[in-house]
Amino acid sequence: MFAKVATDAALDKTFDYIIPPDFENKVMAGSRVVVPFGNRTLEGYVLGISKTTDYKGKLREIKEVIGDRPWMSEHILKLVSWMATYYMAPIELCLKAVIPAPIRNTNKGDGFQSRLYIETLIDDEEELSQIADLKLTERQLALMNALFDQGALPMGAFATEQKTTPATLRKLEEKGLVKIFEKTERRDPLAGKNFLPSKPLPLTEEQANAKKIICDAISQACDLEKPAPKPILLFGVTASGKTEVFLQSIAEVLAVGKSAIVLVPEISLTPQTIQRFASRFGKITAVLHSKLSDGERHDEWHRIYTGEARVVVGPRSAVFAPVHNLGLIIVDEEHEPSYKQEEAPRYNARDIAVMRANYEHAATILGSATPSLESWHNSNNGKYIIASMPNRASKQMSKPNTIIVDMRLEAMGKAAPPVFSKDLIDAIKRRLTTGEQVMLFLNRRGYAPHVTCPACGHTEECEDCATGMTYHIDDNRLRCHLCGIERSCPSVCPQCGCENYKFTGIGTQRIEAIAKKLFPSAKIQRMDADITARKHSHEEILARFRAREIDILIGTQMITKGLDFPNVSLAGILNADSALHIPDFRAGERTFQLIAQMAGRTGRGLLPGDVYVQTQTPEAPAIKFAATENFSAFAAQELSDRKELDYPPYSKYICITLKAESNDAVSAYADLLAQQLDSISNERFRVLGPSPAPLERIKKYWRHQISIFTNKTNLVLAYLKEAQKTLPPPNGVTIAIDIDAMNTM
């Protein structure tokens, strides 16, 4: 018997190995094995088993099998194969995406953490009184009394508490009075958190109808004689109660012995989402995300792998969780671009969820108040089933009142354009007077994105990237948000010595500083990537906001979605049209989504909600439609424009990015590749470019792009693979092919 093994070596191919007779019952597709590779020993995964091999040379044997059963199911292996083909990614990178690093990197032992415990062997007080015959010291007697009726205790903690040593405790073991043993300890990311059990809530008519559609899909998924159910687009306005529908749908899945995966787009959403799901499903809930320690991720993965956990919550990578008997995958806020991985394999977790559910005959729910136009189009043409919830879950919750503020009028007669409009300032003051809370959104961190000298025009720029340095006032540093380089902000212009350096543009730090001056008595908190780098910082800030210890929460995208705070009655969207100016055909779609999602944070309790949208372009369709939450009308217009231009969802978009430290080298190769692709396209696909990327230089690398729009994806993928062989990039030039690209920058 022979095994096809993908090793950790980055070669994008498999190798045949002989399965020794002793391993024939242990080696299966999905097994993790140790194999000889040249003069090295590598770990790898068995992708398939065959009785024959096409290799004509001498084959070597598998040296070791790790674990008692396969690490990946047959369905996951099929998914890995699809990913590698569709996203043009090396097979070993796809495997690494599926098996997280804390699971792979366990060369020393099995990766579990063990601690020494101590436990008394004395059963009752009478027996305890008789141990004096053993001639114990007074100290030993005191230790035995301290251990009595305590059960097993961590030995190290007990020794510290009793101010003794492990050697002293070992002497008690020698006398047969205590037992010292090793015990595996779970590193629990939810340790110390008490979740009050919750019960299913009564459903509105709209929620009940949506749940019925989902339950029908679950029933179909349980019947293997029928085809796998179509994905369901749960289109519900903000506060329509989508989460309760998710929870009750999962309960249906659990009742038939299956498991569920819930994907959320942001780490910041995870704490509140976990609370809801752990409160409903208790200890069978597992968490997977990058903010966990390696030990926590290792132990949570194994809880899922062994079937102990049956409800998994996490962002993008949780779509690969090794759940048993998958019945349902939920993708919350399915439109979010954060579901797209920016490094190879450049997968979209939403699309992976749909493919995995299809392979495993499971149901899929894609939930959003502002669906991606791809999913909306799929529901219009019958590829997806739509379940609509157009009203908020409670009649007491009204849709927010949206006010568009034309900042061009606000700037008239002023030396500089204001950051806050007068109407927004007055609205915030009213909320502070009545004890209500405010959320302010700006999608740019830092204090000022531009630092310039008014005398000579010198601008502080990153020497490695084609962008300016952002000023951070907290530590008086300049930072590049592309490559991360930083330096101190000079006190005078390095070119002319002018002392009047000018900070232009606004970031969340500047909003915070201005807000503190305008509202000195308010408790103000910022929430962005600079503030939330520390573990649990998301949870701490949101817990304080929920407890009303914060009056005004200022943040970036992480505060715009999924959060539920009943006391928030006002949202301010500053510089709402900034996303419209990005050179991307999805700019209008993303602007609409941001405004609508931010508006949804208000009016979620008994208090009515207001939303102030500050903009320089109030006439933009995305802003006008978002103000009335009219997604259907916006989608109709946007889809009409896309169809005319043959943009997604009417075609597939492939973005090829080429980079090199030499601009001439990357430009020349980009021209050659584009010419070759154009020559073979024969009008079966469109080739645009090459052209410099919108962010032309990042981390010293010059970047050029070629865009391809096609309805024949497989054909283009075949041509791209062939082009890389016949026209390989020269030394120093690298190529990244992004299928279904979400980011053109």
pLDDT by residue (tens digit) across 299-328?
Answer: 899 999 999 999 999 999 999 999 999 999
Q: Tell me how many helices (H) and strands (E) the chain has.
A: 22, 30
Q: Are 448 and 507 in contact (CB under 8 A)?
A: yes
pLDDT, position 56: 86
pLDDT, position 628: 85
What is the three-class DSSP state of 136?
coil
Q: Span 226-246, mean pLDDT?
A: 94
Establish if 466 belongs to a structural domain: no
Same structural domain, 139 and 277:
no
Same structural domain, 511 and 592:
yes
pLDDT by residue (tens digit) across 540-565?
Answer: 888 899 899 999 999 888 887 767 78
650: tokens are 């009417």
CATH number, position 90:
3.40.1440.60
Nearest to 315 by CA among 299, 303, 297, 298: 297
Of the three residues 155, 185, 215, the one that is the final residue of a domain is 185
Q: Span 189-196, mean pLDDT?
A: 76
Nearest to 444 by CA among 511, 536, 502: 511
Pairing of strands 502-504, 450-452: antiparallel
pLDDT, position 130: 66
State which amino acid sits at residue 292.
Answer: L
* 3-state helix/strand/coil string of 470-516: EEECCCCEEECCCCCCEEECCCCCCCCCCCCCEEECCCHHHHHHHHH
pLDDT higher than threshold 80 for residue 258: yes
Nearest to 714 by CA among 688, 741, 685: 685
Residues 6+ apart with CB under 8 A from 489: 451, 460, 471, 476, 477, 478, 501
Neighbour order of strands in the sheet with 477-479: 470-472, 477-479, 486-488
672: tokens are 């050659």
CATH number, position 699:
3.30.70.600
Residues 6+ apart with CB under 8 A from 103: 71, 111, 297, 298, 301, 302
Whose structure tokens read 């095994």? 3
Q: Are 94 and 345 in contact (CB under 8 A)?
A: yes
Which of 5-9, 243-247, 443-447, 607-611 is most confident?
Answer: 243-247
Least confident of 148-157, 166-175, 400-409, 443-452: 148-157
Establish if 513 belongs to a structural domain: yes
pLDDT, position 133: 61
Residues 6+ apart with CB under 8 A from 38: none
Residue 450 pairs in a beta bridge with 504
pLDDT higher than threshold 80 for residue 342: yes
Residues 6+ apart with CB under 8 A from 713: 86, 652, 654, 739
pLDDT, position 128: 62
Confidence of residue 399 (pLDDT cuts 50, 70, 90): confident
pLDDT by residue (tens digit) across 114-126?
Answer: 788 998 888 776 6
**Overall number of domains in the chain:** 5
Q: Is 155 exposed, middle or buried (0-12, 13-18, 19+ CB in 10 A)?
A: buried
Establish if 489 belongs to a structural domain: no
pLDDT, position 684: 84
Separation between Cα atoms, residue 638 and residue 640, nearest integer Å: 5
Separation between Cα atoms, residue 43 and residue 45, nearest integer Å: 7
Q: Span 107-111, mean pLDDT?
A: 56
Helix-helix angle 242-255:270-281, to 10 degrees: 40
Separation between Cα atoms, residue 623 and residue 287, nearest integer Å: 36
Q: Span 44-69, mean pLDDT?
A: 91
| Helix or strand (DSSP H, E) at 380 | helix 373-380
pLDDT, position 108: 46
Q: How far does the chain reach from its first CA to its final CA, in angstroms?
A: 49
Helix spans in 175-269 (H): 205-222, 242-255
| Helix or strand (DSSP H, E) at 124 | none
Q: Are 507 and 419 in contact (CB under 8 A)?
A: no
Q: Span 355-381, mean pLDDT?
A: 97
Separation between Cα atoms, residue 87 and residue 713, nearest integer Å: 11
Same structural domain, 332 and 308:
yes
Number of neighbouring beta carbons within 10 Å of residue 139: 12
User: Containing domain of residue 553, as a range?
Assistant: 401-448+505-630
pLDDT, position 270: 60
Same structural domain, 586 and 440:
yes
Establish if 30 belongs to a structural domain: yes
Same structural domain, 411 and 558:
yes
pLDDT by residue (tens digit) across 259-287?
Answer: 999 999 876 556 678 888 999 999 999 99
Burial 282-301 (b: 16+ CB within 10 A, else e): eebbbbbbebbeebbbbbbb
Same structural domain, 516 and 410:
yes
Of the three residues 71, 104, 137, the one that is the final residue of a domain is 104
Same structural domain, 304 and 335:
yes
Q: Span 367-375, mean pLDDT?
A: 96
Establish if 640 belongs to a structural domain: no
Q: Span 195-201, mean pLDDT?
A: 89
Same structural domain, 27 and 71:
yes
Q: Are 524 and 438 in contact (CB under 8 A)?
A: no
Q: Average pLDDT over the chain, rounded to whole?
A: 90
pLDDT, position 682: 78
Separation between Cα atoms, residue 178 and residue 118, nearest integer Å: 7
Separation between Cα atoms, residue 241 and residue 289, nearest integer Å: 25
Q: Span 337-355, mean pLDDT?
A: 96
pLDDT higher than threshold 60 for residue 230: yes
pLDDT, position 569: 92
pLDDT by residue (tens digit) across 679-706?
Answer: 888 778 999 989 999 999 999 999 999 9
| Helix or strand (DSSP H, E) at 708 | strand 701-710
Whose structure tokens read 């809530």? 201
Same structural domain, 96 and 140:
no
Q: Are 228 and 358 in contact (CB under 8 A)?
A: yes
CATH number, position 614:
3.40.50.300
CA 314 to chain centroid: 7
Number of neighbouring beta carbons within 10 Å of residue 735: 19
Same structural domain, 229 and 352:
yes
Of the three residues 389, 411, 436, the one that is the final residue of a domain is 389
pLDDT, position 378: 97
Q: Span 728-743, mean pLDDT?
A: 93
Separation between Cα atoms, residue 513 and residue 491, nearest integer Å: 20
717: tokens are 């993928």
pLDDT, position 129: 66
Establish if 475 belongs to a structural domain: no
DSSP 8-state code for residue 564: -
Same structural domain, 264 and 210:
yes
| Helix or strand (DSSP H, E) at 18 | strand 15-18
pLDDT by residue (tens digit) across 62-97?
Answer: 999 988 889 999 999 999 999 999 999 999 999 999
Establish if 329 belongs to a structural domain: yes
Whose structure tokens read 């350096």? 501
Separation between Cα atoms, residue 428 and residue 632, nearest integer Å: 31
Confidence of residue 227 (pLDDT cuts 50, 70, 90): very high
Whose structure tokens read 């190995």? 17
381: tokens are 């043409």
Least confident of 26-30, 159-163, 244-248, 422-426: 159-163
Residues 6+ apart with CB under 8 A from 216: 229
Same structural domain, 240 and 352:
yes
Establish if 484 belongs to a structural domain: no
Whose structure tokens read 């007077």? 433
Choice between 363 and 400, residue whose per-residue pLDDT is larger:
363
Q: Span 243-254, mean pLDDT?
A: 97
Helix-helix angle 349-359:74-86, to 10 degrees: 140
